[in-house]
Amino acid sequence: MTLLQVDGVTKQFGGLTAVNNVSFSVEEGQICSVIGPNGAGKSTLFKLISSFLVPTSGQVRFDGAQVSGLKPHVAARMGVVRTFQETTVFKEMTALENVIVAHQLGLQSRTLGVFLGSRLARDENAAIRDSSSEILDYLGLGHVKDERAVNLPHGYLRALGIAIAMAAKPRLLLLDEPFAGMNPDETNRAMEMVQGIRRRGITVLLVEHDMRAVMNISDWIVVISFGSKIAEGKPEAIRADEAVIAAYLGEDDLELGH
Amino acid sequence: MATATDPAPTRGEKRVLGPFLLIFAPLAAVLFVAIPFVLADMPYWLNVVTNACLLSFASLGVWLTFSIGRVNIAQGAFCLIGGYTVGGLTTFGGLSFWLALPFGGAAAALVGYIIGYPLLRLRGIYFAMVTLSLTEAVRLAFLYFGTMVGVTSITSIPSPPGITSPMAFYLFAAALLILGYAGIWRLQSSRTGGVFRSMRQNEELAASIGIDVARYRVFAFTICCFMGGIAGGIFAALQQNVYPQSYTVADSINFMLYCFLGGLEFVLGPIVGTFALVVSFELLRAIQEYQALLYGILMIVVMLFLPNGLLSFFPALKRLSGGRK
Amino acid sequence: MEQILVNGAILAANYALIALGITLIFSIMNVLNFAHGQMFMLGGLLVYWLVVQIGLPYAAALIGATIIVGVIGMAFEVFFFRQVMRNSTREENTMLLAVGTALLLENAALSLFGEKQRGVPPIVSGVYKLGDAFLPANRAFVFGVSVVLIVAVLLFVNYSRTGRAMRALAQDRTATLLMGVNTARVSTLGFGLGAALAAVAGGLLITVSGVNAGVGTAISTKAFIMIMIGGAGVVSGALLGAVALGFIEAFGYAYLPGSLTYLMIFVALIIFLLIRPQGIMGKPWG
């Protein structure tokens, strides 16, 4: 079943076209990757899909409903949740508090009930605590859950960012360059994490520069260059695609999956 | 063991109730036992602490906007709105103070709610500057439209019925303050408080996990404005008058300073900050001409040596006595 | 009509000095200088003191007051702002420190000079006539000195070594540090220059309209309005904001009842900021 449908999406900034008429779709349960050379418009496309930018034309449909043009928090409620590059977490909170506060969706108790401490709100708080601990354990952060985020090493922060997104119970998780700046060892662990997320029934769309990691875990790859889609297909097909090789030529790290 | 009759959350609730009582009980003791006992025959000082209670109440609201990451220099404007509403309803409308007071809070909250949506999109110094402008704009609006209808100021506002002595007025103000403290404390320690803190640290990240940032921002701001309106309404009845210049930019700045000097990390911060500044200003009155200067120096010294507020002195002390950094 | 334009131009020139100063401090230090109006006030009162009490000639008094306030500004940077910036946990801290220094200056001025409105007699007498407009020579003098100073500051910021370092610092603090610029020294100088500009504006205006110890907050508010219109931290924006405010004020005072002018300015400003939060020239979020 098609979960995400990107349909002729274009984004212009002033006279500059950052994303030009890009279409593709993501099937439920897939790991799909959008790749491209530096400056290809990956970040813009990512923001368009996650509703952090509004497309100039075209639309993004999620599970049949239009999500482009919605506010980010509304898209999150529908099940489209993004992560941020690098180390965007709530720095002054502990790891556990980070994930607890991220449990905002699907709650029954309202602000007044929370304020008055209703039975419902207390039960929900307990459920949130359990769920948060479970997510942290699943992503290998259980042992640092009471550590303040500012004190955590970089690698952990990336995982914590994903834990925060997981707490919003996404159906589609959008990962923004999850492997950037990682050494091969860290990349391997992060790849396992991404596959683990998919095993929980979450569809994953990731935007990435690192070709090797993408080739190994993706079911489907979309390649963009200068804002336009130049190829899409299974990893083996992409590896052999002339247009893709040409686009990546001149890049320093020409490494097509070995 | 968690059972059906003794669910796990109650344990969590009790854990947070402990620290609350640790501060709440001494605060109540100071407000309702120590101060009334010591100042019983000192009407001047009783008036000073009554003022401090009401100012603290308004500052608690400003503290709440600090907790969502906004420097709010508009509280004077909402005190003014509350003051005029209560003053007008009691003096011209013949309404009892007790009926008029909720309207004072509601009028301020309504204005805050309406302008909050667009205004709170601004951040950092822009929000600070625009709220500062708002204080001046509201003052000028009362001045201009007041002149047009021939009533710029309201004088001889009736006292609240039932409150016949300075002590009674003080106890009323103290009760309001402790109610406000409990309410804000409860709010910030609840899930909603977590949402506020998350927004202060990163609004985009908060939105990405489904938090309706705009709605929560306005929620916090509206509560702040409501508290300002209530404080302003009571002040109008206490001083029995309200003028456009009853609250100026300097007053709005003071509310913000009280929070900051008490400590932004503590709900008690605005109360400690307000009392410390109001009382020290009165004490410095003894040295007449240098009162203002010493007050200014005192404030800078606190900022330099306790940049996280007066209350951060205690954890610092604890660290020192514990011998660890 | 011509009279309004003349008045507007004089106001705009004086305001430009204030706006340049506050925007300089903001761009270099990322501090919103709440004490700017108080520095203006102190400049004015020091000129009054040096001229009326000490008996110095006006030019010497103006230079003296400017230097004194400039040094105060540098001292603030070294002893207050640098310390707080080093170990502050929240970005609000410097803003609140600036509020503290504003109170300090205002209270010091109250203790030293009292709360009376002070003035200095006009430096030059006579009246020029421009078309239908009257231009008192003293105002022409204030206008002339302001314009010369504005040009001097612009030249300094754009072409001198230190000025270029200041602009670099405003754009990227870390990169400037890596380039081998002594950022601490440049910050101190920038803060001092900003303070001095406020002082010279006060020292000039005291010959026109008088200054009292309580005028600071109102001047700071005007400074904020100007940088909100133009965009915080941008020199061209500061000038634009000053010109806009000067002429709006001149027109408002000519055609509207007293309190309405600023009421309308504030309302227009709030609406303007909602449409364009970064001002006309500014970058988003400063």
Tens-place pLDDT, residues A228-252: 898 898 988 888 888 888 877 655 5
Chosen for mutation from C229, C259, C283 (greatest number of chain B CBs closer than 10 Å) is: C259
Q: What is the pLDDT of residue A107?
A: 81
Mean pLDDT over each residue of chain B, to the nearest integer:
87
Does residue C277 lie in a domain region?
Answer: no
Distances in Å between the Cα of B319 and the Cα atoms of A93, A146, B222 are: 21, 20, 38
Cross-strand partners of A225: A228
Interaxial angle between packed helices B191-201 and B213-239, expressed in degrees from 0 to 180 and rounded to the nearest 10 = 110
Question: Cα A97 to chain center, whole Å?
Answer: 21
Q: What domain range is C60 assigned to?
A: 2-213
Of B9, B212, B213, the CB nearest to A125: B9
Residues of chain B positioned with their CB less than 8 A from the CB of A102: 209
Q: Which of C243, C233, C230, C236 is nearest to C273 (CA)?
A: C230
Strand C133-136 to C127-130 pairing: antiparallel
Of B7, B190, B208, the CB nearest to A76: B208
Residue A33 DSSP label: E
Three-class SS of C164-230: HHHHHHHHCHHHHHHCCCCHHHHHHHHHHHHHHHHHHHHHHHCCCCCECCCCHHHHHHHHHHHHHHH
Token code pair at residue C113: 């000079």
H-helix segments, chain C: 2-29, 36-48, 58-75, 82-86, 92-113, 137-159, 161-171, 173-178, 183-205, 216-230, 235-255, 258-275
Residues of chain C positioned with their CB less than 8 A from the CB of B130: 228, 269-270, 273
Q: List, for residues C70-83, the tens digit of each pLDDT value.
A: 999 999 999 999 88
Does residue C46 lie in a domain region?
Answer: yes
C233 band by pLDDT with thresholds 50, 70 and 90: confident
Q: How many CB atoms lie within 10 A of CB C20?
A: 27
Rounded to the nearest angstrom, the minimum Cα separation between B46 and chain C is 26
Question: B residues 133-152 near C, CB within 8 Å?
Answer: 133-134, 136-137, 140-141, 143-144, 147
Q: Could you list the pLDDT tens digit for every one of the 258 residues in chain A?
A: 889 999 999 998 877 889 999 999 999 999 999 988 877 888 899 999 999 999 999 999 999 899 988 999 999 999 999 999 877 899 889 999 999 999 888 787 788 888 888 888 888 888 898 999 999 998 888 888 898 988 888 878 888 999 999 999 999 999 998 888 888 888 888 888 899 999 989 999 999 887 878 888 999 999 998 888 988 989 888 888 888 888 776 555 545 444
Average pLDDT score over residue span C125-130? 83
Q: How many CB atoms lie within 10 A of CB B305?
A: 10
**Hey, is the C-beta of A256 within 8 angstroms of any chain B C-beta?**
no
Contact A92 B197 (CB under 8 A): yes
Token code pair at residue A76: 């999150």
Of B192, B207, B219, the CB nearest to A73: B207
Question: C residues 13-42 near B, CB within 8 Å?
Answer: 26, 32, 34
Give the residue on B whose Cα is nearest the Cα of C268.
B137
Question: C residues 102-141 near B, CB within 8 Å?
Answer: 103-108, 110-111
Mean pLDDT over each residue of chain C, to the nearest integer:
88
Residue C77 DSSP label: I
Rg of chain B over all Cα atoms, to the nearest angstrom: 20
Residues of chain B positioned with their CB less than 8 A from the CB of A125: 9, 12, 191
Distance of alpha carbon A23 from alpha carbon C172, whole angstroms: 39
Q: What is the pLDDT of residue B5?
A: 39
Rounded to the nearest angstrom, the minimum Cα separation between C175 and chain B is 24
B10 band by pLDDT with thresholds 50, 70 and 90: very low
Distance of alpha carbon C241 from alpha carbon C177, whole angstroms: 31
The superfamily in CATH containing domain A1-79+171-258 is P-loop containing nucleotide triphosphate hydrolases (3.40.50.300)
Residues of chain B positioned with their CB less than 8 A from the CB of A131: none
What is the SS3 assignment for C135?
strand
B4 band by pLDDT with thresholds 50, 70 and 90: very low
Q: What is the pLDDT of residue A249?
A: 64
Residues of chain A positioned with their CB less than 8 A from the CB of B201: 90-93
Distance of alpha carbon C20 from alpha carbon B144, whole angstroms: 32
Residue B160 DSSP label: P
Chosen for mutation from A46, A73, A157 (greatest number of chain B CBs closer than 10 Å) is: A73
Which has the minimum average pLDDT: A240-254, B3-17, C28-42, C46-60?
A: B3-17
**Hey, is the C-beta of C57 within 8 angstroms of any chain B C-beta?**
no
Contact C221 B133 (CB under 8 A): yes
Average pLDDT score over residue span C114-135? 85
Residues of chain B positioned with their CB less than 8 A from the CB of A93: 197-198, 201
Distance of alpha carbon A20 from alpha carbon B271, whole angstroms: 56
Chosen for mutation from B20, B179, B209, B215 (greatest number of chain A CBs closer than 10 Å) is: B209
Distance of alpha carbon B104 from alpha carbon B79, whole angstroms: 9
Q: What is the pLDDT of residue B180?
A: 96
Rounded to the nearest angstrom, the minimum Cα separation between B117 and chain A is 15
Q: List, for residues B145-174, the tens digit of each pLDDT value.
A: 988 888 889 998 998 998 888 999 999 999
What is the SS3 assignment for B123?
coil
Q: What is the pLDDT of residue C226?
A: 92
**Hey, is the C-beta of C269 within 8 angstroms of any chain B C-beta?**
yes
Main-chain phi, psi angles of A94, to 5 degrees: -75, 165
Average pLDDT score over residue span C255-278? 84
C175 band by pLDDT with thresholds 50, 70 and 90: confident
* Residue recorded with tokens 């859950």: A145
Q: What is the pLDDT of residue B325?
A: 31
Q: What is the pLDDT of residue C283?
A: 59
Cross-strand partners of A19: A11
Contact B192 A111 (CB under 8 A): yes
Residues of chain A positioned with their CB less than 8 A from the CB of B209: 73, 76, 81, 101-102, 104-105, 164-165, 167-168
Distance of alpha carbon A30 from alpha carbon A67, whole angstroms: 19
B244 band by pLDDT with thresholds 50, 70 and 90: very high
Q: List, for residues A2-31, the tens digit of each pLDDT value.
A: 899 999 999 988 778 899 999 999 999 999
Q: What is the pLDDT of residue B59?
A: 97
Classify residue A257 as left (phi > 0), alpha (psi -120 to 50) or beta. left
Contact C260 B300 (CB under 8 A): no
The domain tally of chain C equals 1
Asked whether the beta carbons of A32 and A6 are under 8 A apart, the reply is no
Which has the minimum average pLDDT: B10-19, B210-219, C23-32, C254-263?
A: B10-19
Please calculate the CA angle B65-B68-B73 and round it to the nearest 5 degrees. 30
Residues of chain B positioned with their CB less than 8 A from the CB of A97: 194
H/E segment holding residue A239? helix A235-240
Contact C263 B141 (CB under 8 A): yes
Q: What is the pLDDT of residue A175?
A: 93
Distances in Å between the Cα of C150 and the Cα atoms of C15, C155, C185, C236, C243 are: 11, 9, 23, 11, 13
Average pLDDT score over residue span B126-138? 92
Token code pair at residue B140: 């000028």
Average pLDDT score over residue span C103-114? 89
What's the whole-model pTM score? Answer: 0.90
Distance of alpha carbon C118 from alpha carbon B106, whole angstroms: 44
Distances in Å between the Cα of C190 and the Cα atoms of A69, A200, B34, C25 are: 44, 57, 51, 6
In one-letter notation, the amino acid at residue B130 is V
Rg of chain C over all Cα atoms, to the nearest angstrom: 19
**Neighboring chains of B (3 or more beta-carbon pairs < 8 A):** A, C
Asked whether the beta carbons of B223 and B142 are under 8 A apart, the reply is no
Asked whether the beta carbons of B197 and B274 are under 8 A apart, the reply is no
Of C84, C92, C227, the CB nearest to B71: C92
Contacts of B110 (CB under 8 A, 6+ apart): none
Q: What is the pLDDT of residue C127?
A: 85
Of B194, B209, B219, the CB nearest to A81: B209
Q: How many CB atoms lie within 10 A of CB A65?
A: 9
Q: What is the pLDDT of residue B319?
A: 53
| Predicted complex ipTM | 0.89
Asked whether the beta carbons of B229 and B105 are under 8 A apart, the reply is yes
Question: Torsion angle of alpha carbons C82, C85, C91, C94, nearest 10°?
Answer: -30
Question: Cα A172 to chain center, whole Å?
Answer: 8
Contact B208 A93 (CB under 8 A): no
Residue B213 has pLDDT above 90, yes or no: yes
Q: What is the pLDDT of residue A251?
A: 59
Q: Which of B77, B82, B92, B52 is nearest to B276 (CA)?
A: B52
Residues of chain A positioned with their CB less than 8 A from the CB of B207: 71-73, 76
Contact A164 B209 (CB under 8 A): yes
Burial A239-251 (b: 16+ CB within 10 A, else e): bebeebeebbeee
